[in-house]
A and B are shown apart, each in its own frame.
Chain A
Amino acid sequence: MSNFRRSQNQSNPNKLNAILSSLIFILILNVSIQIWLLYAALNNALDNNKEILIPAFVASLILFLIGFSWLYYLPKGNFKK
C-alpha cells in the first residue's frame, strides 16, 4: 500500500531539501518566539504582573506542539533497503 512516507522517500532530493529547509526554518522561528515569550514572562513575573504568565505558557506549549508534530514530516532520506 502506498502512503505518504513511501512517496516522500521516493521523491527527488531537491524536494527533500526544500522540505527540510522550511521545516528547520519554522522550528527556528518557533524557538525564537518562545525565547521572547520566556523573557517577557520572566520580566512580568518579577514585576508582579501575573496575568500574562499563563497565556505565555500556553502559547509556548502550542508552539512546542506545532514543532513536535511538524517532525512527522521530517524526511527519512532516500534509503535503499
Chain B
Amino acid sequence: MSKEDNLNKNWKKDFPIEKQLATSVSRRDFAKFLTLVSGGLMVGSGLVAAKAYIYPKEQVEGDHFVCKKDEVPVGGTRAFVIEGSTIPYILIHLENGDFKAYEQKCTHLSCSVFYKPGTGIIHCPCHEGSFDAKTGDVLAGPPPRALPGLDVFFKGNDVYVKAAVQEKNPA
C-alpha cells in the first residue's frame, strides 16, 4: 500500500486531526483538570466529615469476659473478639503483672500486631511499626496513631474488658 493510498483513506477524512494534536494536553485543559481534582478533594473531605458525624464509630458496650487470669502466662498474649463484632483484640499479660487489651490491627495498614515478650513492645511485622505495650502509643515506624485499647478489669480470677474511658483534655 502506498503512502498516497493511506492518506486518502476515509477515516483520515472523518478524523482530520494529527496525532500530535490529539495527544497533547493544553495548559488550559491542565488547569481545568487541576480544578476538577481540587473539587474531588473537597468532596472527599466533606465525606470524611459526614461519615464521622452521621455514622460514628461504635463503642464497645458493657463488660465482656475474656478468660481466666491464670490462662495467660506472664509475657503471654491471648487473642479474642467481642460478641457481635469482628474486630480482633489481644490481651497481653505484661512482665510487671498488668493486663492490657488492644486492637490487633496496626493503625498503619491493619496488619496483625503481636507482643514481643520481655521487651514491652507490640510489633507490627509488615512495616516494622512498634507500639508501647503499656499505653499503646507509637514508638517507631510508620503507624500514624496509637493502638486503640480496651480497659481491663478483674472479677475474682476472671479477666473482663470494657470500652476505654475517653481521655478528653479539658479545654
Set of chain B residues within 8 Å of A47, measured between Cβ atoms:
145
- Which residues of B line the A interface, CB within 8 A? 27-28, 30-32, 34-35, 37-39, 41-42, 44-46, 48-49, 51-53, 57, 107, 144-145, 166
The yes or no answer to A50 lying at the interface (CB within 8 A) is yes
Q: Which of A24, A37, A46, A68 is within 8 Å of B45, CB to CB? A: A37
- Which residues of A line the B interface, CB within 8 A? 20, 23-24, 27-28, 30-31, 34-35, 37-38, 41-43, 45-48, 50, 53-54, 56-57, 60-61, 63-64, 67-68, 70-71, 74-75, 77
Set of chain A residues within 8 Å of B53, measured between Cβ atoms:
50, 53
In the A-B complex, the 8 residue pairs with the smallest Cβ-Cβ separation, listed nearest first, are A53-B49, A34-B41, A27-B34, A60-B45, A64-B42, A45-B52, A60-B42, A57-B45
B15 vs chain A, min Cβ distance (A): 22
Interface of A is mostly: helix
Set of chain A residues within 8 Å of B27, measured between Cβ atoms:
20, 24
Complex Cα distance, B52 from A56, in Å, reads 13
